[in-house]
Amino acid sequence: MKPFPRAEISRYALQSNLAQLRLIAPNSKIMAVVKANGYGHGLLNVAECVGLLNYVESVCKYHGGADGFGLARLEEALQLREGGVKGKLLLLEGFFRQSDLPTLVSHNIDTVVHHESQLQMLETIALDKPVTVWIKIDTGMHRIGFSLEQFDSIYQRLLACPQVAKPIHLMTHFACADEPDNPLTQTQMNAFEQQVSGLEGDRTLANSAGTLFWPTSQADWVRPGIALYGVSPVVGDRGVNHRLIPAMELVSNLIAVREHKAGDSVGYGASWTAKKDTRLGVVAIGYGDGYPRNAPEGTPVWINGRRVPIVGRVSMDMLTVDLGADAQDNVGDSVQLWGKALAVEEVAEHIGTIAYELVTKLTPRVVVELLD
């Protein structure tokens, strides 16, 4: 018997999604965003599927691998290098300590510079080689990045800094690209263009939502994260609408099937009571695995070809579902919490969160298994 719960990761889906993103952004290089353990899919799993561990720039495009990887932490980038990834790596929030800079140089890792403190660290260190820098411009997200007013002076300081490789690359990030009617995205694109026009260096603006919904934002590099995993960034939308395939199936097993009488409650707090006689299934997954405790009654799970609702509270190691009075399900049957049959977007809508959070929050107890 296979261990459960497990997250089955589909190599085919990841590769197909990358190919589909190439069709969607045919003139851009792809920086596959693999932060947070490859959005819970396993950093090296994703790298192996879309990154060609023995990356050679000239053959990469032919094989269809990603052109680079975006990460949030230096440790993640080092794991990729240790795993044999040779391609471009970019720290999307840059480095946090001056002592990280020699590591960036020795491991050939690019960094975002979004704050003057990072510039000071670059100006006051001696390095064997200059670092490749992407300057982050705040065009309207107002989280990190240099304001339009600061940009020119910061850019000049970077140009003058011997520790910074030339050309300097150019980057911004969208606040509302997942809202196809929101005018802020075009405003951000215009502000970016105005700021960088005439400058050397590669340009990148688009996350998944930009890539899918704002094709004029694709520029030299797109930075898809969630779309690579087959999931739509837009509430109410589904990855399949963009010919993307869910790369993760979260599965577990039924460990009990019980006759349940009308009027009987189930679980902690006795929060749900059966209106009629039924059969309840107990699934071996809970918040200790990262399945949210706040999943309300009625959140679907997929068993033997149908949706059945969660009833009662999700506990640490188990949850209970109403299989129905005539259910034929048995102990040992497989249960899909999300995946191809039951979109993680749909589950997220029930729980009142986004698919990003569900896939990244699985705990180490969930076995992550890479399948073809």
Ligand X SMILES: *Cc1c(COP(=O)(O)O)cnc(C)c1O
Tokens of 250: 């979260």
225 binds ligand X (CB under 6 A): yes
Count CB neighbours of 298 within 10 A.
Answer: 12
CB of 173 to ligand X, least distance (A): 5
Nearest distance from residue 182's CB to ligand X, in Å?
Answer: 15
Q: How many CA atoms lie within 13 A of 247 on its CB side?
A: 33
277/119 Cα distance (integer angstroms): 67
**Residue 169 binds ligand X, judged by CB under 6 A:** no
Q: Which is nearer to ligand X, 74 or 314 (CB)?
A: 74
HEC assignment per residue over 227-266:
HHHCCCCCCCCCHHHHCCCCCEEEEEEEEEEEEECCCCEE
One of 2, 129, 166, 268 is an active-site residue; which one? Answer: 268
Which one of 118-126, 219-227, 239-247, 284-292 is the stretch in contact with ligand X (CB under 6 A)? 219-227
| Phi, psi of 243, deg, nearest 5 | 60, 30
Reading the block at residue 342, the tokens are 């039951």
Cα–Cα distance between 356 and 111 in angstroms, integer?
24
Q: Which residue has the tokens 């930009």?
A: 210
Is 39 labeled as catalytic in the residue annotation? no
Token representation of residue 214: 């704002």
* Beta carbon of residue 306, minimum distance to ligand X (angstroms, whole number): 31
35: annotated active-site residue: yes
Give the residue, chosen from 28, 188, 207, 252, that forms a contact with ligand X under the rule CB under 6 A. Answer: 207
Q: How far is the CB of 331 from ligand X (least distance, A)?
A: 38
Q: Which of 51, 233, 239, 300 binds ligand X (CB under 6 A)?
A: 233
Quote the least distance from Cβ 147 to ligand X, whole Å: 17
223: contact with ligand X by CB under 6 A: yes
The 50-89 contact track toward ligand X, x by CB under 6 A, reads --------------------x-------------------
Distance between CA atoms of residues 127 and 76, nearest Å? 22
Dist CA 70 CA 34 (whole Å): 6
Distances (CA, A) of 104 to 89, 98, 100: 10, 10, 6
Tokens of 229: 């995993």
Q: Which of 65, 68, 224, 339 binds ligand X (CB under 6 A)?
A: 224
Using CB under 6 A as the binding rule, whether residue 339 contacts ligand X is answered as no
Does 38 engage in binding with ligand X (CB under 6 A)? no
Nearer to ligand X, 134 or 272 (CB): 134
User: Is residue 95 a contact partner of residue 112, using CB atoms and an 8 Å limit?
Assistant: no
CA distance 133 to 286: 42
Catalytic residue selected from 29, 35, 88, 136 = 35
Q: Which is nearer to ligand X, 226 or 282 (CB)?
A: 226
Instruction: Give the shortest CB-174-to-ligand X separation in angstroms.
Output: 9
Alpha-carbon distance of 52 to 85, in angstroms, equals 7
Kindly state whether residue 230 participates in binding ligand X, applying the rule CB under 6 A.
Answer: no
Q: Binding to ligand X by residue 242, rule CB under 6 A?
A: no
Q: Just list the catalytic residues.
A: 35, 268
Binding site for ligand X (CB under 6 A): 33, 35, 70, 92, 173, 207-209, 223-227, 233
